[in-house]
Structure 1
Amino acid sequence: MLQKILLINPSFEDFYQTEIRQKPTGLKYIQASLEKAGFQTFLLDCLSKNSKRTIPIPNNFKHLKEFYPANDLSPFKLFTHYRRFGMSQQEIGDLVRKFNPDLIGISINFTPYCETAIETAKLCKQIFPKVPIVAGGHHATTVPESVLKSGFIDYVVLGEGEQRIVELTNLLFSDQLNQLKGIDGIAYKNGNKVIINPAKSFVQNLDEITYPEIKNKMGMILTSRGCPQNCNFCSVAGVMGKKVRFRSIESVIEEMNQCIQNGVKKFDFEDDNLTINQNRAKILFKEIITRFEKHNLRLSAMNGLMADSLDEELVQLMKNAGFEWLNIPLVSGSAEVQKKVNRYQSRQQFLKVVEWAQKHRLKVVVYIILGLPEDTLNQMLDDIIFLAELPVLIGPSIFYPPPGSKTFSNCVKNNLISGKDYSFYRSTAIPVETKNFSRKDLITLFRLVRLLNHLKSNPGLQKNGFAKDTTQKPTSLTLNYKLTQAEISSQLIDELFSNKKLRGLCLNKRVCKAYEYQWIDYSVSPNIVEDFLLQIKNIKIGGIETDET
């Protein structure tokens, strides 16, 4: 009888969900490797039904309430409610019992969600106390000792898990635990002592890894692993290695073809540096065009593309292959900040890429990080104004320090964070304040970027200039009709550009045919709003319209 292995992609709790980021791609690779080795598997994706429910905000996040007011109707609002995304513990427990596994594997990928994953492990231990539980993923790899000391995880697979999980599983089922010390990239407990066998080796021939069968609407494709960048604020290289290893073009095309046969039309390349080898990238996209042009594929690379690795020929090939967007990480526009965080990006090359993208009718989203400890308020605002003029959307992320990164260690050393409460290390928690900026400063910048993106996406709002109604507004608006999103947008933009008030709007009550709306006064830094308005009035905001829209 085949041993049964249950793999779990846990639920999580936060203010929002980026659905594509929570796809269990890593677990599917693990599943494919285990099935090839002869084991029976079941992947319990707790997020598969897209269920969510509002839950009380945790006590350690109470300070965030002032930044995320509920029921905001603004089209450029931030977050409103704290939620649990995915199955309840009851639902998970019922399915775990039904499968009755011989081994359980749990993905602990994202640091701020590790507590929910550990709770899932605890639940599994309560149901099946004698069944071994193995954890893997980015967070588990970075801090295996912490994961093992939770008391509910028996083993941790470090880094790439496809080969290690098969080796570990074979030892567990053959009762050869005395051989654990010989396995590369495994952590476990021997009594009260944590044993960590560092991950010294990586899979060199990625074609040897069994890729998973994908039947979803979007295929998540990895054509390479590893990152040589060594940015101070990132810990990816510590998990996947600094040397980039490539799959063969034939292997990638074969996987895409299988996905297409299953009805997949969209693909996201999950590589950390998809175009780092420019010539290889050109060959890949030429092959995609040749093989799949009639399928009208939609391609993306949401992890980002280094501007320095692109040229106009490659940009045009990406357009012809099916890309609609280029996701470009700028991080910071300051050469000084870039040097401090070890992440250089040529501004001249970046501007060339934006120009090429416009020429070939590609839209661009530019990733920036707000709140790097090395940054300043003036520089962050300069970056926003610089990008405001360009025909790009801005993808802001409030900085959080991932364990395993150099910046995390520096933040602990400089008493910017405790280094202990892992749930705090997420953008929505705004975890780092410095002498140069506060949480309120960062949330103000974040709101201004959201507003800018709204204006960029709706160029018509700028055609006649902004309203100059400087009359004092009452605390509420009572109308005999319901405001549309466009009308709400117009009201809020008028409030900002006329009265220097960054506000939201909520529906307070409805009586018969009367709608009473209440202004929401955001918790923001007035000086930043004033500086922003002073600078933005002298520029033309760049829209993101292309010839196709």
Structure 2
Amino acid sequence: MADILLIQPPVRDFYLTRKRTIPYGLSSIAAVLIQNGFSVELFDSLATHKSRILDYPDEMNHLRLFYGKPDQSPFALFHHFRHFGYSYEHIGKAAGQSNAFLVGISSLFSAYQDEALKTAEIVKKWHPDCKIVIGGHHATSMPEEVMKNPAVDFLIRGEGEVSMPLLAKAVHDHLSIKDIPGIVYREENSSLVITPPAVMSSLDHYPLPATHLIKKKYYQRNKSGSIAVVASRGCPMKCSYCSMGESGLPYRRRSVESVVKEIELATVSEPVRFIDFEDENLSLDKKWFL
């Protein structure tokens, strides 16, 4: 039983790179919620080795010629389209049992937006009394598209560490949400209110991620420990292929001391061999980086 349930959805793809899917962002948001007095559960749909083969989605029918072949050479493409992680029904049942009043779902990548929305739908089916909020890069960039789904009650643009504690308090205490930074919601006439992305003013003022909520054994590489770290946020570049240019998030970096402290704490309880820096542009400030 927890006040707030944070969910990393499953992935449907030809492959899964586990060390790139550590739910670091959700653990960071969880830390701020805990700091504000809420109990939090992190349900990681990818914290399992389960996967199953799926038929190709209609939009991928043209790939049948290239995939599913018996070629086992180093040049072979991945053989099957798969559902990685727990089933949607399993996720829905877990949400219903949690009895959380607020459920947050990550929608980081446009390629996996369907999984995030399907997760929202199944959560609402099993736990209709909860409020559902979606956040992440895709949600920030395409709020209108995400909010077309009636299962989604709110959307957070930008950095959830700023908005989630305020939203949680507003939902819990039945307060107005209109002044929450980054919030997207429906008016009574169903029109959307979309606010600018929320921005963390100083990264060092926020608590370190609640990584104790992450089931680390599912993210080992060759039986060695693997952790994710974000040392800076934002990027000033305007690359056409990247959503960061449209997110409105400025470039900011943590102090070296803060980053080192996080790594040291992560390596106290277990050996860590791999550190995955998930910054948008880690080496932008070379003097700080080196």
Structure whose alpha-carbon radius of gyration is higher: 1
Contact between 2:235 and 2:251, CA under 8 Å: does it hold in 1?
A: yes
- Match of 2:90? 91
Q: 2: distance between equivalents of 1:112 and 1:275?
A: 26
Match of 2:241 in 1: 233
Q: Which amino acid is the alignment partner of residue 158 of structure 2?
A: G
Which residue of structure 1 aligns with residue 261 of structure 2? 254
Q: Which of 213, 223, 231 is the aligned partner of 2:231?
A: 223
* Contact persistence 2:92–2:127 (CA under 8 A): no
Divergent runs of 4+, >6 A: none
Q: What code does the residue aligned with 1:194 have?
A: L
| SS state at 1:218 partner | strand
Other-structure match for 2:186: 189
**Structure-2 residue corresponding to 1:153:** 152
Q: Deviations over 1:469-526 (max 9, x none)?
A: xxxxxxxxxxxxxxxxxxxxxxxxxxxxxxxxxxxxxxxxxxxxxxxxxxxxxxxxxx
Q: Considering fraction of residues, name the structure with more helix.
A: 1
Bigger relative contact order (CA 8 A; separation at least 6): 2
- Pair 87,153 (structure 1): closer, same or farther in 2 beyond 3 Å: same
| Contact 1:28/1:212 (8 A) holds in 2 | yes
CA distance in structure 2 between the partners assigned to 1:127 and 1:135 by the alignment? 17
Q: Which moved more, 1:73-82 or 1:210-219?
A: 210-219
Letter of the structure 2 residue corresponding to residue 7 of structure 1: L
Report how far residue 206 of structure 1 moved.
Answer: 0.5
Of all paired residues, the percent bearing the same amino acid is: 36
SS in structure 1 at match of 2:83: strand
SS in 2 for 1:54: strand
1:33 is aligned to 2:32: yes
Q: 1:281 is matched with which residue?
A: 289
Q: Per the alignment, in what secondary structure is the counterpart of residue 182 of structure 1?
A: coil
| Local SS of the residue matching 2:29 | helix
8 Å contact 1:160–1:239 — kept in the other structure? no
Residue matched to 1:545: none
Structure 1 residue aligned with 2:221: none
User: Which letter maps to 1:258?
Assistant: L
Q: Where does residue 513 of structure 1 map in the other structure?
A: none
- Please report the TM-score for the alignment, with normalisation by the length of structure 1: 0.49
The CA distance in 1 between the partners of 2:166 and 2:271, in whole Å, is 32
The one-letter code matched in structure 1 to 2:65 is: E
Secondary structure in 2 aligned to 1:84? strand
- What's the offset of the Cα at 1:3? 6.1
Relative distance call for 1:181 and 1:90 in structure 2 (3 A) is closer
With normalisation by structure 2, the TM-score equals: 0.91
- Structure 1 residue 240, shift from structure 2 partner: 6.0
The RMSD of aligned alpha carbons is 1.6
- String of CA shifts for 1:295-343, please: whole Å, max 9, x gaps: xxxxxxxxxxxxxxxxxxxxxxxxxxxxxxxxxxxxxxxxxxxxxxxxx
Once residues 213 and 5 of structure 1 are traced to their aligned partners in structure 2, the CA distance between those partners, rounded to angstroms, is 14
The secondary structure found in structure 1 opposite 2:211 is coil
C-alpha separation in 2, matches of 1:11 and 1:36 = 28
Alignment of 1:451-470 (within 5 A): none
For residues 87 and 12 of structure 2, the distance between their equivalents in structure 1, rounded to whole angstroms, comes to: 11
